[in-house]
Amino acid sequence: MSTEAESVILSPDELERLFFAIEQTCVQHIVPQELMQLGQLVAKEHSQWSRLFAERHCVPGEIIFWENVPGDSVYIIQSGKAVVVKGKLTSPVILGCQGSGEMIGEMALLESSSRSATVIALEKTRLLEISRENFFKLLRTSDTFSREIMRLLSTRLRDTSDAVQRETMEKIRDPLTGLHNRYYLWSIFAYELQRAERVRYPVCIILLDIDNFKDFNDTYGHPAGDQILKTLGRMIRLKVRHADIACRYGGDEFLIVLPEAALDVALARAETIRARCDDLQVEYEGQTLHCTVSAGVACFPDHATTPDTLIQAADRALYTAKRQGRNQFATIPDDK
Amino acid sequence: MTESPPPVETLTYEQAFAELEAIVAELESEEHTLDEAIARFERGQTLAKHCADLLDKAELKVRQITASQTQDVEEQTEDVN
């Protein structure tokens, strides 16, 4: 008896291809420890709860359930083996294999969502099938079972939260320098200025650029240039406050946003970074590398009031610093 | 807790992620009834999905998360003022 929509069995050829795909993938055991224990626990106490279970026997190649189909049952594998796949069966992504004592399909029930993958029996497989209603009944009758499920839920949610954090960091960080990237800057900049306007405090930005970086790269090569960017990124990270936003703005351009910093504070910070950079000696493959930076400093709301125009103002100041001989900082003159 | 939490879709990334972290910590440390745990879990999953959606749409306000990530660096920071 099956509560899943229909019973579909792969042809011998299709099954053969599936085995081939499994062999090609280094299939790992995907079942977390908690779940394995859970399946074993339920299987062990089977007789006690036998009225809550139905048995389902699958032949090799039989689909136990399909991806994207709403879940109605949880299964515990009593004997046999199944594979968990995602995507089209003609080109499946193999997620892993599951065997005796393991539970499948519980997340769709707990999340009231569709199945996140398709599960196919690889050999003659005997399953205990628990309907949604009985699954929750079981959860309520057995303390051990419900504790295990809760432990599972918290592990799953921790994994999800870690994954969100990881993806976020990947998306907003420049991998070479460890600073934020331009994408992050634009996602936060307008918001910072709005907040500054509301609370009536200034926001300064420092736009930094390595002097003659193209010549540097031509002389020492790009890997050496990358090393300089990396070192500079680290130095900037150490020279900014917690509230500041330091970004790699372009190739060799860095932009630092300093909320609640008055112009004189920002100018002092620009000078600190410039001087520190001038002091830096970077050892790289037997060579000692050195570079200088120029900086342009602009202040909200005195010099500009939007992200775009503020960066343009800093860029103008940077140009002035470059024109005046590099290795220095400049800002917008008072009289414009 | 009689007050119902705000709808997830109205939250910024920062708010959603902070709530998600709080739920994870709560599930890991406090005793719950099963129904409460499942409800918290469901809310957590919805928050995570919302964060992922915002990330795709670039509507980020992620100061908190990055602040905690850079903490270790900051701790070694020289006095810069």
Q: How would you write the pLDDT of chain A (336 residues) with one tens digit per residue?
A: 444 556 788 888 888 888 888 777 765 555 556 666 667 777 777 777 777 788 899 999 999 999 999 888 999 898 999 999 998 888 888 888 888 888 888 888 887 788 989 999 999 999 989 998 988 888 887 787 788 888 888 888 898 899 888 888 888 889 999 999 988 888 788 888 998 999 999 999 999 999 999 999 999 999 999 999 999 999 999 989 888 999 999 899 999 999 999 999 999 999 999 999 999 999 999 999 999 999 999 999 999 999 999 999 999 999 999 999 999 999 998 764
| Contact across the interface for A187 and B65, Cβ inside 8 Å | no
Q: Are strands A203-210 and A253-259 parallel, antiparallel or unpaired?
A: antiparallel
My answer on whether A308 and A246 are in the same domain is yes
Instruction: Judge if A161 and A193 occupy the same domain.
Output: no
- Exposure class string for A314-330: b at 16+ Cβ within 10 A, else e: bbbbbebbbeeeebbbb
Instruction: Tell me the ipTM for this assembly.
Output: 0.73
Q: What is the pLDDT of residue A3?
A: 46
User: What residues 160-189 of chain A have any CB closer than 8 A to a CB of chain B?
Assistant: 160-161, 163-165, 167-169, 171-172, 180, 183-184, 186-188
- Residue A172 maps to a domain: no
Q: Is residue A318 included in any domain, yes or no? A: yes
H/E element holding A99?
strand A93-99
- Mutation site, B13, B17, B47, B55, interface A, largest A CB count within 10 A: B55
In a domain, A176, yes or no: no
- Whether A314 and A212 map to the same domain: the answer is yes
Co-location of A233 and A319 in the same domain? yes
Asked if A240 is an interface residue toward chain B (Cβ–Cβ < 8 A), one would say: yes
Kindly determine whether residue B45 and residue A164, on different chains, have CB atoms separated by under 8 Å. Answer: no
Note whether residue A53 is domain-resident: yes
Total structural domains in chain A? 2
CATH number of the domain enclosing A278: 3.30.70.270
Of A240, A222, A215, nearest in space to A284 by CA? A222
A126 and A62 belong to one structural domain: yes
Asked if residue A105 lies in contact with residue A73, where contact means CB atoms within 8 angstroms, the answer is yes
Going from N- to C-terminal start, the domains of chain B cover 32-68
Whether residue A192 sits in one domain with residue A319: yes
Q: Are residues A149 and A60 in the same domain?
A: yes
Q: How many CB atoms lie within 10 A of CB A308?
A: 10
**Are A212 and A245 in the same domain?**
yes
- Quote the strand ranges of chain B, DSSP E: none
pTM: 0.66
Examine residue A7 and state whether it is found in any structural domain, yes or no: no
Judged by a CB distance cut-off of 8 A, whether residue A5 touches chain B is no
Looking up residue A103, the CATH number of its domain turns out to be 2.60.120.10
Q: Report the 3 state secondary structure along A192-229.
A: HHHHHHHHCCCEEEEEEEECCHHHHHHHHCHHHHHHHH
> Exposed/middle/buried for B2, CB within 10 Å: 0-12, 13-18, 19+?
exposed
Q: How far is CA B29 from CA A149, A151, A297, B21, B23, in A?
A: 15, 10, 48, 12, 10
Taking residue A92's Cβ as centre, other Cβ atoms within 10 Å add up to 21
In a domain? residue A222: yes
Contacts of A265 in chain B (CB under 8 A): 81
Q: Is residue A207 part of a domain?
A: yes
Domain that holds residue A143: 12-165
Structure tokens at A263: 């112009």
How many cross-chain Cβ pairs, A to B, lie less than 8 Å apart?
106
**Model pLDDT for residues B14-72, shown as the tens digit of each residue:** 889 999 999 999 988 888 888 888 888 889 989 999 988 888 776 555 554 444 444 43
| End position of a domain, from candidates A165, A192, A219 | A165
- Asked whether residue A59 is assigned to any structural domain, the reply reads yes
CB A97 within 8 A of CB A22: yes
